Amino acid sequence: MDNFSSNLLNVYQAAEKNFTKSDISLWLNFGYWENTNQVEKACEKLLDETISQFNIVKGSKILDAGFGFGVQDVYILNKFPECNIVGLNVIDYQVAKANELIQEKNLQEKVLLLKEDVVSTSFANEQFDFVLAVESAFHFYTRENFFKEAYRLLKPGGKIALADCLPQVDFVMDIEFKKAADFMAIPYQNYYEIETYLHKMKNAGFEGIVSRDISNHVLPYAAIEMLASNGWRSSSSIDLNIDPSLIDKLLKDFTKITTIGKYYIITAEKH
């Protein structure tokens, strides 16, 4: 196993034990926080914001790149019961647990969840109407390879949407930063600012590219959650009664530990 794959395994193995308690949400994203202190609500909202440009109709085929525990696929199917989803993930226990959930909800006819790397999939060209990557593309080796693969897999007229983590503006890739990047399983090749990100999408062939900086709705809350839970999700809500003067420090610590300083939703089309 290469270093990068073992970093990824370490990150999610460290998380595994946190997700065995029945009251802990199985969502694995930081959430979009607005008028709530509930983890599940914030995670659902992040998905809603990410797919808001998808006009999902009967028969739409969605590729879910990095499905976590599959809760987002159940959520999408509750809202759009007549679409079909193929999800890909590389972590065995997540694939197994997600498939249990799909069986339990009796959604096997609608969702196929596979263990496959999203940067080199087994699918033929132009299979999907939508490609979705909720807080997963920063892990891919590389994100740029994923852009090319997503473009290949989309039908003409198809759309891509990503909720994604970026470093802070003017980040410095020193030894400490690289250590944190390894800890987060983020390949060094994925570190660039939003302008380069959009340029790489354009190079992959995408058009109508739009980015939205949602850092303020995500990162302060992720920092509060990290402080409360020692890094991983361990409660169903967060305490918002934090002294505002502390938030800046929490955010700085969060960025230092995770390398994440910006958070965007990016959408684009294949013409």
Residues in contact with ligand SAM by the rule CB under 6 A: 8, 12, 27-29, 66-68, 72, 88-91, 94, 117-119, 134-136, 139-140
Cα–Cα distance between 49 and 175 in angstroms, integer?
Answer: 35
- Which is closer to ligand SAM, CB of 134 or CB of 251? 134
Distance (Å, whole) CA 213 – CA 216: 8
Task: Give the integer Cα–Cα distance in Å for 97 and 68.
Answer: 9
Cβ closer to ligand SAM: 139 or 159? Answer: 139
Q: How far is the CB of 244 from ligand SAM (least distance, A)?
A: 27
Please report how close the Cβ of residue 96 comes to ligand SAM at its closest, in angstroms: 12
Q: Smaller CB distance to ligand SAM: residue 89 or 211?
A: 89
* C-beta of 13 vs 207, nearer to ligand SAM: 13
Q: Would you list the DSSP string of 87-121?
A: EEE--HHHHHHHHHHHHHTT-TTTEEEEE--TTS-
**Sole residue written with tokens 């196929």:** 112
Q: Which residues pair with 82 in a beta bridge?
A: none
Q: Pick the closer one to ligand SAM by CB: 76 or 224.
A: 76
CB of 238 to ligand SAM, least distance (A): 16
What is the rounded distance in angstroms from the CA atom of residue 170 to the CA atom of residue 97?
39
Cβ 236 vs Cβ 23: under 8 Å:
yes
Shortest Cβ distance from residue 86 to ligand SAM (Å)?
12
- Min dist. Cβ of residue 87 to ligand SAM (A): 9
